Structure 1
Amino acid sequence: MPFQFEHLRTLTALVDEGTFEAAARALHVTPSAVSQRIRAMEQAVGKVLVRRTTPVATTPAGDVVLRHARQVLVLDADALGELGTGDTDPLLPVAVNADSLSTWFLDALAAVTERLGPAFEVHREDEEHTTSLLRAGTVMAAVTSTPEAVQGCTVERLGTMRYLVVCTPEFDARHLGGRRDTALLARAPMVTFDRRDDLQDRFLRQTLSTGHRGPRHYIPASQDFARAVELGMGWGAVPEAQCARALEAGELVPLAPDHPVDVHLYWQRWNLRTPALDLLTDVVRRHAAAGLHPL
């Protein structure tokens, strides 16, 4: 593709920083220089690559070029690292769902930095939507619930994250008749992660064939979500790893022990061989095997 290296670096900086002014500061050039480089790239391919919004957004053509740019920059950083002339570690942007990040994925990242030293930019996104970041070239790899490989990526199974539907004994007494009556869950207060979180509703559809009609609390952080359930704000589907201690201590009670909510997780990564990405894949594979149920 007819792009200069500095132009590719400028595109990634523009997308990462969000504005022409911020990209100029990161690159130590003027905003006019950033604009000229982007315009030169667009003229080279005859297509608009960047929408001039705030923050900027790539077009479908821009997604293709951005993915190419990031791959070039990663390969360049790897080559300089092997030659011993690189002055910075490669930046690996990855996408992961909040519950994986809070339970097992962060340990994998720490293990990689101990051995190789890349810098990570973690994008937290629902597991059903992380592949959109791969398609856009925003990240190099992602934990996802999508088994079909994104174009230009490989996919492999990681395992199953198990969620248990739980509440406090006090919540059970107040809203479920003290009998853990799941038939009453549809009208009882519920904790959900955000408006795209479908786990609790999926449980209701599968077990009661109904939707939720009671109050909803939106708690968009994994640890805080589990804490909200422990405080009795509502019932919810909590990762098994996060509620095991509270269940053992009697601080939480299981509402449907025979009906866990299972989410199958996969690892998708660019089909590009680099030492950092290969090591990350190997470490993620091993940590997933220890922290997830077999798929």
Structure 2
Amino acid sequence: MMRVDYNLLKALHAVVSLQSFERAAKRLAVSQSAVSQRIRHLEELMGEPVLVRSQPPMCTAIGQQLLSHYQQVQQLEQQLAQRLDIQQSCPSLALAVNADSLATWFLPALDPWLHNAQIQLQLYVENESQTWRRLISGEALGAVTNQSKAVNGAQSEPLGALTYLCVSSPEFQARYFAAGKPNKEQLKQAPAIAFDPHDDMHFNYIESLFGLSAGDYPCHIVRSSEAFVAMACSGYAYCLIARQQVQSQLDNGTLVNLLPEFALKVPLYWHYWQFSTHLMQSVSESLIANARGCLDME
């Protein structure tokens, strides 16, 4: 039976989570050469590569399985320490979340643990269609995603929906959309904002309503929900943004809803591993309850 050296898995986890051999070496208090040797030794044991030496480094399929196993063992060790009442350092929770959830309902759900410094967060902030990949790779213990179906070994819980509105400042509306509502020709000139080049939600929304594809109109790429709001309020661009994030700006007239009849609801789900510790179970319950109190019904 194969015996796994967990120092090797620890090195793999450090390289992937910190996205660098150099940072992994500092975290593990060893040389960068020692980290590389541990990865090579692990690959010799597996008989195949566990990492793609890209920038940043990425796990191969077997590397993902090893990383997932290591995360499970870490959780079990934390759970055992709690049962034995052994004093441990503040546990780390690696979670994947979309930017709009992070800007609205997500962090308040973690207040009981963050306020008292009971956990260390490692957040992967991705598009909601991509966050589940962090779970599959073993990098994250839980993920907020728009994927409803759970992967093997994980659970999926519906959270509710973020309702997205197409908004701009009144000045931007007057400058680009003379009639108040945008049309196809006007949108070809009006700057938009998308989260990243894979922001299917924005591009699909505009294409479905106006027949314009990505590249047919100017579009800023900005990986920050807060920057979306700031840029829209400043009159730099229009954007799709969660109603929950801009309700006060809509109420005071800083922003206007350009297409009130075309709100877009995006259902969200919380995925987490079934092996989760008591801590992770408690965190999951808090996230689910807070989301359902803040998000809209689907």
Q: TM-score, normalised by structure 2?
A: 0.90
Query: Is the contact made by 1:9 and 1:73 (CA closer than 8 Å) also made in structure 2?
Result: no
Q: Which residue number corresponds to residue 144 of structure 1?
A: 145
Query: Is the contact made by 1:191 and 1:233 (CA closer than 8 Å) also made in structure 2?
Result: no
- CA distance in structure 2 between the partners assigned to 1:138 and 1:165 by the alignment: 33
What amino acid is the match of 2:9? L
Query: Is the contact made by 1:116 and 1:276 (CA closer than 8 Å) also made in structure 2?
Result: no
Q: Decide whether aligned partners of structure 1 residues 13 and 276 sit closer, same or farther in structure 2, where only a CA change above 3 A counts.
A: same
Q: Which residue number corresponds to residue 189 of structure 1?
A: 191
Query: Is the contact made by 2:163 and 2:263 (CA closer than 8 Å) also made in structure 1?
Result: yes
Range with bigger deviation, 235-244 or 107-116: 107-116
Would you say 1:270 and 2:273 are equivalent positions? yes
Q: Decide whether aligned partners of structure 1 residues 26 and 235 sit closer, same or farther in structure 2, where only a CA change above 3 A counts.
A: closer
Q: Decide whether aligned partners of structure 1 residues 29 and 177 sit closer, same or farther in structure 2, where only a CA change above 3 A counts.
A: closer
Q: What's the C-alpha RMSD, in Å, of the aligned pairs? A: 2.2
Shift in Å, 1:229 = 0.9
Q: Which residue number corresponds to residue 282 of structure 2?
A: 279
Q: Which residue number corresponds to residue 207 of structure 1?
A: 209
- CA distance in structure 1 between the partners assigned to 2:72 and 2:62 by the alignment: 16
For residues 47-88 of structure 1, what are the alpha-carbon distances to aligned partners after superposition, in whole Å with 9 as ceiling and x for unaligned? 221234454322111110011011111211221233232431
- CA distance in structure 2 between the partners assigned to 1:270 and 1:227 by the alignment: 36
Q: Secondary structure of the equivalent of 2:105?
A: helix
Query: Is the contact made by 1:67 and 1:138 (CA closer than 8 Å) also made in structure 2?
Result: yes
Matches within 5 A, 1:94-105: 94-105=95-106
Query: Is the contact made by 1:246 and 1:252 (CA closer than 8 Å) also made in structure 2?
Result: yes
Q: Which residue number corresponds to residue 256 of structure 2?
A: 253
Range with bigger deviation, 38-47 or 242-251: 38-47
Shift in Å, 1:289 = 0.8
For residues 221-268 of structure 1, what are the alpha-carbon distances to aligned partners after superposition, in whole Å with 9 as ceiling and x for unaligned? 111111111111122112102221121112222212121011111111
Q: Which residue number corresponds to residue 241 of structure 1?
A: 244
For residues 178-217 of structure 1, what are the alpha-carbon distances to aligned partners after superposition, in whole Å with 9 as ceiling and x for unaligned? 4334455532222222222233332223333444633222
Q: Which consecutive residues of structure 1, in runs of 5 or more, have no partner in the other structure?
A: none
Q: Which residue number corresponds to residue 295 of structure 2?
A: 292
Query: Is the contact made by 2:165 and 2:260 (CA closer than 8 Å) also made in structure 1?
Result: yes
Shift in Å, 1:92 = 0.9
Would you say 1:48 and 2:49 are equivalent positions? yes
- CA distance in structure 1 between the partners assigned to 2:237 and 2:117 by the alignment: 43
Q: Decide whether aligned partners of structure 1 residues 21 and 209 sit closer, same or farther in structure 2, where only a CA change above 3 A counts.
A: closer
Shift in Å, 1:32 = 4.6
- CA distance in structure 2 between the partners assigned to 1:6 and 1:176 by the alignment: 60
Shift in Å, 1:2 = 2.1
State percent identity of aligned pairs: 32
Shift in Å, 1:103 = 0.6
What amino acid is the match of 2:156? V
- CA distance in structure 2 between the partners assigned to 1:71 and 1:288 by the alignment: 25
Query: Is the contact made by 1:63 and 1:137 (CA closer than 8 Å) also made in structure 2?
Result: yes
- CA distance in structure 1 between the partners assigned to 2:258 and 2:277 by the alignment: 46
What amino acid is the match of 2:150? A
What amino acid is the match of 2:103? S
- CA distance in structure 2 between the partners assigned to 1:191 and 1:25 by the alignment: 37
Q: TM-score, normalised by structure 1?
A: 0.91
Matches within 5 A, 1:1-295: 2-114=3-115, 117-187=118-188, 188-211=190-213, 213-295=216-298
Q: Decide whether aligned partners of structure 1 residues 254 and 42 sit closer, same or farther in structure 2, where only a CA change above 3 A counts.
A: same
Q: Which consecutive residues of structure 2, in runs of 5 or more, have no partner in the other structure?
A: none
Q: Decide whether aligned partners of structure 1 residues 55 and 81 sit closer, same or farther in structure 2, where only a CA change above 3 A counts.
A: same
What amino acid is the match of 2:161? T
- CA distance in structure 1 between the partners assigned to 2:182 and 2:197 by the alignment: 26
